Structure 1
Amino acid sequence: MTERTVRLVHQATLVLTVLVACTNAAFAAFGVLTPATALRVWLGFELPFGALVLIVGALRVRVLRRSGTQWAGVLDELVGRVPATLMRAELRSYRALWFLIRGHRVGAGPGMTTIGYTRGTMSVPIAWLVASVIEIAVVHILVPWGWLRWTLLIISVYALLPLVGRLADRVVHPHLVAPDGLVLRSGHQIVARIEPDNLRRCIPRRRFQPTETGGDDEILFLPGPDGTNLDLVLAEPVDVVLPAFFEHRRRSALVSRFSIHVDDPAAARRVLDAVLLAPDTTR
């Protein structure tokens, strides 16, 4: 059986199973079907077709892996590129929350110095989270039906977790400084790796614009909501990959200067001077 045939069968059974399950649930909720009838439909149709979806899905994974597809590509093929990206992002957010609770910083270790870049960037998201929590509490009080109150509460809390996790993702993935170079990050995404002999100057400098990640005239901006506060000047241009939520939309560029936002630009300069930069009396 070819991969195309397996894919078509898998998609058809999946769509049919979801449609029947949603229709069955809706009819049961509005009283068109009795609970006993809905259960018989579930046992007689949804359960067997669900098993078929799993079997065909496993067969499809086997075909894809035999063709040399990586696991990330397998997930993209099974559920689609956009849903797969959302699933990976949600899993990463839970992982970031766990690391944040434990106080762990990804990549930190002996001989490695971290540079944070989240100070001052969390006020708006945190205010939004507080407003969402208040809204959840108000809805929970005002909705008269108990089953609906708890359903909305579970859905609301579940929807907040990935957002909190995305904020945590930036905290637990700081920039990294080591004797073998500097790694610039934006959350879990690595933007650039700079060799120690390629970093010429480190200059604390306040720029209020731009406030969006992007490149301009061989300069890469990694700003916070108030712009940037540290400039890095390179001896030779390096390849960078601009961060984007969808991996397939990340684009490459060649830059010789970075303008970034860090928690403490003066402290960051001292670290970079001590670890990477050779003494320079002209600075």
Structure 2
Amino acid sequence: MTLRIKLIKRIFLALLLLTVGTMLILRGLGLVSNSAVLIGFLAVELPTLIVVLTLTGIELYQLKKTRGLHGQEFLAAIEEQQPLLRFAILEARTLFALVEVLLGRRHGVDSSTLGFSYAKGTLAIPIALGVVTVIEAAAIHVLIPWTWLRILLLIASIYALILISGIFAARAANPHLVSPQSLTLKWGHRTVLKTPRSNIAKVQQLSNHQYTEPAVDGSLVVLTSFTSTNVRIMLDEPVPAHPPVPKKKLPRDFAATEVDLYVANPQDFVRSLETATQQ
């Protein structure tokens, strides 16, 4: 059933793209009028789009029903199964992260699980971009004579600022997690690495000034942004990891044995993990 729905959806999606492309070409060549384009949209493109959206909704319903997924797990499955929705999901997560930060929420933190921030200092970037947006708005007001275009560009600039702020807010809303059983390292919505505490061979405060952005060096994962790392974790056994680096820089089936990371409160972070290494 699922394969049949996917096949039908691909057929309608191909029809939609073909129709849109054909109408744009014909209109560009002056072979059809604006009214003909509108009629084509209402008669063919709009119904086809509705069918595609309906089939996508059925796919998502079946995905949720068969796997029993909820919340972040469901969103992750949508990103994996529906590439066309990937950017929409990412945008929604980014905007929701701002709301979570404003409400003081932090994912995964409860009475038994500690959360450790790694977002200190990143607020300076949204503030700087906000200043740039104000300057840009003043320049647009002076240089562009059309009111509608000034308003459109201003809205686009503000929305871009909100999205960028949301990216950094996601880091504040998703701290590293230390529970009695495990350590989970995060980078925004991404889970970089999760390992049992019993797999931690050594943890110590150690500065590494070589990197100013996330990186992979052999089996070492570096998690930092605009500053040096201040904690090193060494593992007994390699652990599958998904660091925020380009795929071309990431070996296939990558596993980490060491992690250098920045934590806003390294002393408490190290202390919370040392109990596992001393047992």
TM-score range normalised by the length of the shorter chain = 0.7 to 0.9
Question: Deviation at 1:169?
Answer: 0.9
With structure 1 as the length reference, what TM-score do the two structures score? 0.76
With structure 2 as the length reference, what TM-score do the two structures score? 0.77
Q: Per the alignment, do residues 171 and 250 of structure 1 end up closer, same or farther by CA in structure 2, a change over 3 Å counting?
A: farther
Corresponding position of 2:51: 55
- The DSSP-based 3-state class of the residue aligned with 1:225 is coil
Structure 1 contact 240–254 (Cα < 8 Å) conserved: yes
Q: Deviations over 1:32-83 (max 9, x none)?
A: 9xxxx85x5576332232123212443466579879896445522xx3xxxx
Question: Deviation at 1:172?
Answer: 0.5
Q: Per the alignment, do residues 160 and 245 of structure 1 end up closer, same or farther by CA in structure 2, a change over 3 Å counting?
A: farther
> CA–CA distance in 2 between the matches of 1:160 and 1:20?
35
Q: Per the alignment, do residues 22 and 112 of structure 1 end up closer, same or farther by CA in structure 2, a change over 3 Å counting?
A: farther
> CA–CA distance in 2 between the matches of 1:250 and 1:175?
24
Question: Deviation at 1:223?
Answer: 2.0
- The DSSP-based 3-state class of the residue aligned with 1:182 is strand
Question: Deviation at 1:105?
Answer: 0.5
Corresponding position of 1:29: none
Q: Name the count of aligned residue pairs.
A: 260
Corresponding position of 1:91: 92
Corresponding position of 2:19: 16
> Which runs of 5 or more structure 1 residues have no equivalent in the other structure?
27-31
> CA–CA distance in 2 between the matches of 1:6 and 1:195?
42
Q: 2:82 aligns with which of 64, 75, 80?
A: 75
Q: Deviations over 1:108-141 (max 9, x none)?
A: 1121111111113443454234213321233134
Question: Deviation at 1:97?
Answer: 0.9
Question: Deviation at 1:155?
Answer: 1.7
Deviates more, 1:253-262 or 1:6-15: 6-15
1:163-242 equivalent positions in 2, closer than 5 A: 163-242=164-243
Corresponding position of 2:148: 147
- Say yes or no: does 1:7 pair with 2:10: yes
Q: Per the alignment, do residues 108 and 5 of structure 1 end up closer, same or farther by CA in structure 2, a change over 3 Å counting?
A: closer
> CA–CA distance in 2 between the matches of 1:137 and 1:15?
42
Q: Per the alignment, do residues 19 and 99 of structure 1 end up closer, same or farther by CA in structure 2, a change over 3 Å counting?
A: farther
- The DSSP-based 3-state class of the residue aligned with 2:161 is helix
Q: 1:45 aligns with which of 30, 40, 46?
A: 40
Q: Per the alignment, do residues 161 and 20 of structure 1 end up closer, same or farther by CA in structure 2, a change over 3 Å counting?
A: farther
Aligned letter for 2:278?
Answer: A
Deviates more, 1:144-153 or 1:43-52: 43-52
**Alignment RMSD (CA, Å):** 3.5
Aligned letter for 2:107?
Answer: V
Q: Per the alignment, do residues 47 and 74 of structure 1 end up closer, same or farther by CA in structure 2, a change over 3 Å counting?
A: farther
Q: Per the alignment, do residues 86 and 148 of structure 1 end up closer, same or farther by CA in structure 2, a change over 3 Å counting?
A: same
Q: Per the alignment, do residues 255 and 72 of structure 1 end up closer, same or farther by CA in structure 2, a change over 3 Å counting?
A: closer
Q: Deviations over 1:191-226 (max 9, x none)?
A: 111212222322111110122323324322112222
> CA–CA distance in 1 between the matches of 2:257 and 2:251?
19
> Which runs of 5 or more structure 2 residues have no equivalent in the other structure?
68-76
Structure 2 contact 5–55 (Cα < 8 Å) conserved: no
Question: Deviation at 1:186?
Answer: 1.1
Q: Per the alignment, do residues 221 and 106 of structure 1 end up closer, same or farther by CA in structure 2, a change over 3 Å counting?
A: same
Structure 1 contact 242–251 (Cα < 8 Å) conserved: no
> CA–CA distance in 2 between the matches of 1:55 and 1:192?
40
> CA–CA distance in 2 between the matches of 1:126 and 1:269?
31
Corresponding position of 1:278: 278
Aligned letter for 1:9?
Answer: F
Aligned letter for 1:8?
Answer: I
> Identity rate of aligned residues, in percent?
27
